[in-house]
Amino acid sequence: MTTQAVVNLRQRSGKCNADTITMAHGSGGKAMRDLIDDVFVRAFDNVELNKLEDQARFDLNTLTALGDRLAMTTDSYVVDPLFFPGGDIGKLAVTGTVNDLAVGGAKPLYLTCAMIIEEGMAVADLRTIAASMRQTADLAGVKIVTGDTKVVPRGAADKLFINTAGVGVIPAGINISADRARAGDVVVINGYIGDHGAAIVDARGDMALQNTIETDCQPLNSLITAMLAVCPDIHCMRDATRGGIATVLNEFAQSSHVGIRLKETAIPIRDEVRGMCEILGLDPLYLANEGKIVAVIPAHAADQVIELMRAHPDGRHSSIIAEVVEKPESRVILSTLFGGERIVDMLVGEQLPRIC
């Protein structure tokens, strides 16, 4: 072995041989560096990250060529359990932040990744989660370019918390905002509601239900880019995560000072999710989603947008679920499938503890 190779090896062994995370992995010493190199850098692997500087650096000219505004967002992921049908906390941490950028019309580009790990966590689980983050990032066309790792004593966190922040660029001419809904507009959704919330309840096992519901967790930037191509004038758009579609619609109604008339028969929902809600007494309108967008679009574009969404793999079950009206202002009214009407308000308190 040459002298240089020995120096390199001593500087960066690059191999984490431990089975479980200990406080040493957060100490700033060699164990931490090995963990970062072997688990995170190896998984995320890109030019910006591999430089291992304290910050990622971007060329401004490249960014400005994509649009005229920078979009930035952050979200923390504390889901329990870490692994659930159809996904895990890593997939969620990339998807959630990518989608928060995309619903503003931005092209998502770069993500950060901060990990807060409880000592005792299995390194193998961390590897699986990091691989899942990379896979999801590739799917969404983004890179994880900088990060941070902390280890906290047992009990100070619940296994693993992840924070991701994201940066994207909004093309000129796109102006999506919660206050732009106008009477006459229609509201579209890209598929079944409540899958993520139902999958989490199921995966927790508290309710002793046996189900096959998978999370809908998926990056939506490809679908949104396609929608913007046929309808650049999307008025409002949000991803309906915690609080479900009821919360997003209330946000639109209140910000735009309009009423929204929701049709229960038009809302796509799986029988399994409906059944679970019936048994547990939950309202699917408030169940969390991780791959659903609710968009307000001008009525004249509705047919074209829905046709395009249904042709896209992430929007096969898209539907027009509501129309925007003048009155009652700032209210969401549901026409029930039974022929009655009721107000759908913001949720007070929570339906379920800690869902994402």
Partner 1 sequence: MKYVDEFRDPEKAKMLIDAINTITEQLEVSQQRPLQLMEFCGGHTHTIFRYGIEQMLPKSIELVHGPGCPVCVLPMGRVDDCVALAERPNVIFTTFGDAMRVPGSKKSLLQAKAEGADIRMVYSPLDALDLARKHPDKEVIFFALGFETTMPSTALTVLQAEQECIKNFSLFCNHITTVPTIKAILDSPDMKIDGFLAPGHVSMVVGTRPFDFVAETYKKPIVVTGFEPLDILQSIWMLLQQLNENRHDVENQYARIVPENGNEPAMDALTKVFELREFFEWRGLGSIDHSGVKMREVFAAFDAEQKFSVPNLKIADPKSCQCGEVLKGVIRPWECKVFANQCNPETPMGALMVSTEGACAAYYNYGNLDELLQKKEAVNA
Binding site for partner 1 (CB under 8 A): 206-208, 271, 274-275, 278, 280, 328, 331, 336-343, 345, 348-349
> Taking CA 45 as the corner, what is the angle to CA 21 and CA 219, rounded to the nearest 5 degrees?
90
Distances in Å between the alpha carbon of 90 and those of 43, 94, 232, 301? 12, 7, 31, 36
Give the whole-angstrom CA distance, residue 176 versus residue 168: 15
Q: Which residue has the tokens 């796109």?
A: 174
Cβ-based neighbour number of residue 323 at 10 Å: 18
By beta-carbon proximity to partner 1, the closer residue of 130 and 287 is 287
Dihedrals φ, ψ of 156, to 5°?
-85, -15
Q: 229 vs 348, which CB is nearer to partner 1?
A: 348
Least distance in Å: CB of 341 to partner 1? 5
Number of neighbouring beta carbons within 10 Å of residue 313: 8
Which is closer to partner 1, CB of 154 or CB of 342? 342
Listed in sequence order, the residues at least 6 apart from 136 whose beta carbon sits closer than 8 Å to its beta carbon are: 90, 91, 94, 95, 98, 219
Report the nearest approach of partner 1 to the CB of residue 255 (Å).
Answer: 18
Residue 226 phi, psi dihedral angles, 5° rounding: -65, -40
Residue 345 token pair: 């308000």
- Whole-number minimum distance, CB 154 to partner 1, in Å? 16
> Which of 184, 205 has the CB closer to partner 1?
205
Nearer to partner 1, 129 or 269 (CB): 269
**Nearest-approach distance from CB 270 to partner 1, in angstroms:** 10
Minimal distance, residue 244 CB to partner 1, in Å:
15
Cβ proximity to partner 1: between 42 and 274 the closer is 274
Cβ contacts of 149 within 8 Å, gap of 6 or more: 25, 26, 32, 35, 36, 40, 114, 115, 117
Q: Whole-number minimum distance, CB 348 to partner 1, in Å?
A: 4
Residue with smaller CB distance to partner 1, 7 or 280: 280
d(CA 32, CA 150): 9
Minimum distance between the CB of residue 269 and partner 1, rounded to whole angstroms? 10
